[in-house]
Homo-oligomer: A and B are copies of this chain.
Amino acid sequence: MSQMLQIHEQLREMILSLDLGPGERLTERWLESRFEGSRTPIRAALVRLEGEELVRRDGRNWIVAPIDLGELEALAEFRIPLETTAVRLACARASEADIAGVEEMLDACQSGAPREEWHRVGTDFHVEIARLSGNPFIVKAITGAMTRLSRARWLEVWTEPSREQAWREHRRILGFIKADDPEAAAREAADHIKDTRDRLLRSLNEDRRGLRARGFAVIGLR
């Protein structure tokens, strides 16, 4: 694999895992030594990450994209029509084997699993459901939205009850798809998105100070 893709992937991982703080400055020269490559592939990786909005220009400089928690509302508003459409289509189009695949994924994540696992499965569930819709544009949009949410979602998996609540909701959505009940599945999906949004907003209000220290922008949050 090309060096550029490797750097892109590693850097992406570092950003999404909060290993690199939101808003942190990235100099091409630092990345150069960090990844032992020259600026050419590093610049390509940065341009690419800029497209995914994980990195952004700040004047002439590169910074890790800050997390704008004010976006949480708009993001939920965006996801609801898309994911309700996705589950409806999934009812019509998904094979039993497809559904079983998603079910396995959920089952594989039990109480004892590490936070990282919950985080990953919680994201992948939505992407996989989108995939069941058979519409590549929906898949791409949901993937992008989940990426955008990804860093904020570390808040959710930090507390156990929150994790388990989300897991139960995922199960219910999948249950309705399995039972081929599109309207119930859509309702459940919309509720789940709202619940997640509310859970996140609540976590935020509980500890604004701590969050700010972690690089979360709490401004503009009601």
Q: Which residues of A contact B (CB under 8 A)?
A: 40, 43-44, 47-48, 50-52, 71, 74-75, 77-78, 80-82, 84-85, 89, 135-138, 141, 145
Contact = CB atoms under 8 A, between A and B. Distances in A.
22 contacts: A40-B40, A40-B43, A43-B44, A47-B47, A47-B51, A48-B51, A51-B51, A71-B136, A74-B135, A74-B136, A74-B137, A75-B137, A77-B89, A77-B135, A77-B137, A77-B138, A78-B135, A78-B138, A78-B141, A80-B85, A81-B82, A82-B82
A197 to B, nearest CB: 13
Please give the count of copies of this chain that the complex contains.
Answer: 2
In the A-B complex, the 4 residue pairs with the smallest Cβ-Cβ separation, listed nearest first, are A51-B51, A78-B137, A81-B81, A81-B85
Contacts of A81: 81-82, 84-85
A58 to B, nearest CB: 15
Contacts of A82: 81-82
Nearest to A79: B137
Nearest to A89: B77
Contacts of A141: 78, 141
For A48, A50, A78, which residue has the most chain B Cβ atoms within 10 angstroms?
A78
A52 to B, nearest CB: 8
A77 to B, nearest CB: 5
A53 to B, nearest CB: 9
